[in-house]
Structure 1
Amino acid sequence: MTSQENWKRNLYILMGSQFLVMSAMTMIIPFLPLYLQELGVTDQDAVSVWSGLIFAANFVTAFIFAPIWGKLADKYGRKAMILRSGFGMAIVLTLTGFATGPWTLLLLRLLNGMISGFIPAAIGLMSMSTPKKHMGYSLGMLQAGAVAGSISGPLIGGIMADLMGFRMIFYFTGGSILIAALVVLMFVKERFDPVEQNVKTSTIEDFRTITAIKPIMALYVVFFIVQAALIGINPLLSIFVQELSPTQNVAFFAGLAMSVMGFANMMASPVLGRFSDRKGHQYVLLFSMLFIALVSFPQAFVTSYWQLLVLRFLLGLGLGGLLPMINSLLRNNAPEGMESRTYGFSNSFMYLGSMIGPAVGGGFAGIFGIRSLFIFSGVLLLVNVWIVYRKVLPRLRKPRKKDAHATLMENTNQQKQKG
């Protein structure tokens, strides 16, 4: 099999695997508060508090451990990290079906975040095996697979919970992730050549080395703001839908508003990815960011649910040009031998945005009202446009200098030869 056929086969297999993983991970979203009630938490205020803690727990440990898994991926390979995460999450999610109370559930969610990393490792593997001229298309297709899973998961989970009960869903999701891990084990091929490192470095030293390459820190900040600005709206979207359509099925229409954005994202990601391979990832990122910023503001002034739905669809189209482009630019600028660590830190920024966004958004909406949240989100995204224009584009127009990691390794080898 040629190298071109190999990367394409890996792409399609990992797309399918990401669909299984994301659908499994999001199946529990519709009924987690109800599962807490089954575990004995009956007071509504207590259910709300526990639900928030349990949702956040996964992000907290994922934020801490993402750079560690990235470092191990650079040492042992990205496929090894996919398998570690896949088999680990399969076990933890299955055990979640045996939870005996809220504390057990909280600990299992913390553990799940600690061992997560299937999708970042898959992105790392594809970014290393895909020819650079196809990078945007490849990562766009991966994004489409993940988004399709995140759209399908809540729907499938809600239906299965009614038919099978809550605990059975965890057994099903564990089995789904196990299948994805087994498929990767048997069919995904990785040619991994670890870069020899004579100097042992700490996580902080790795971060300094990676962010010494100027566009990377700016891209991390962009990633963080995107997550904070967009995820911060999601918890309150159902309340806004209720304000627009008080007599309709609020849960269904709120879900539809989220799903339509996901469908648009899934449609646009491969198309914008292929376009970026021809025109430049940075330019697609810039104009996509500007587009979603401009689409965010009108949402604050809608007078009907259907106006909101159209704007959410347009927002999803723009999102298709963000994450694949950021990941492509990170791959192209990462220090040699530190690619997975570069992605590990980017995922920590993503998780940080996912934690901070809802908390800040809830406080902002509490003071100024829900509609102001869309204005706030638009302003944050315009800040991102400025960062990409001033901090990313000028650096990418210039020829890249030797990165800090390569310089460190060269100096170390020279000293070793002199010794």
Structure 2
Amino acid sequence: MNMHVNTIEAFLEALVKELEVPDHRYEQAEKSYSSLGEWLHRPASTVRHYDPQVYCQGSFRLGTAIRPHTEAEEYDIDSVIELRLLTKRHKTQQELKAMLGAEIKGYHDAMGMVKPVREGNRCWILDYADGAQFHMDVVPAVPNHEQQRGLLEARMLDTRWASTAISITDRREPNYRMLTEDWPRSNPKGYAHWFASRQAVVFERRKRAILETMQRQGVTASVEDLPDFKVKTPLQSAIMILKRHRDNMFARDLDMRPISVIITTLAAHAYNSQDTISGALFAILNDIDKFIDHDGRKYIIPNPTDPLENFADKWEREPPKKDAFDDWLRQARTDFYAAAQAGTFKDMADALNPRMGYALSMRAVDRLTGSSRLLRAATGASAAAAGTASAPSFGNAARQPTKPQGYA
């Protein structure tokens, strides 16, 4: 696709700018879980001798978090407390959760937090003051790398991410109160490393470009000085756009919306180091369903860090959720194809308004045209040329699911 100043690429870049989480929110999240970690390591801590580590997981860690629709909505910051010197042989899930719950409640009181600590099925929830606009879900965990490696080796499966595997608590589990090795599994660090591997080349190139720009402006900085959240890759940007499209399409039926980990995993598989958002987005839309496997009975989207986990397991129990994914993908292809064919930024916004949201789309248009009289004047002329450039097409033939082709 031939890119000009007012093509779909420029419009998608503007959309991402409107969707991006402000830097201070990332800094706020890091400060929050760092503060909790310091609390757990204080001399009076009841878990200090277990070497607790608090770290972020989910979209904030992956750089795919999106800004809430309104200021009334909160950011959901997912974190883990891993007690690195504790094993499942010494505590039940219930005991671990209660032990960390007492520390979290103590932290809540010491910090003068007003809203009470809440308990979720897997986590404790810290609600910060209204002005902070976020809450933090804290999942208790213990290491699980040895057991995970054994499980994968026994089935001759990929073990490269096993060293960061953890076991977590879930009060819905039948053995929640039993002393057993059978706990729910997770690996947020491993998943983040896998995701990073899918965009490593482009990420490093963009990070160095930002540093070079800073250095030309007289700012002394090194690679280590630049936080990862300040670098946005086409893969991250495409996922952010698709998540907002999904959110709006299923705004009236949240239970049916495709879950983020499925979109993120399939998008990362389909991404092939494209340098532009539009290149990444249309490659993902074209190929995303090629990485859904079917074994003759059920659909399978393996967790790249734990092939024994199937992200699509609910599709077997609830077939309408697979239909909802197919409907969403079909609609996304239609909407973004129409936007790519549009002749002006306004037409691009009109093509996406129903699913991306009118306010968001128009803010993107304003970002591109509102401060530049020359650019507004050029929109009709040069966008027409851009509209004639080649645009992606999606075949109508039914797709046969295939097995994912590796994880790196």
Higher strand share: 2
**TM superposition score normalised by structure 1:** 0.29
Higher helix share: 1
Greater Rg, structure 1 or structure 2? Answer: 2
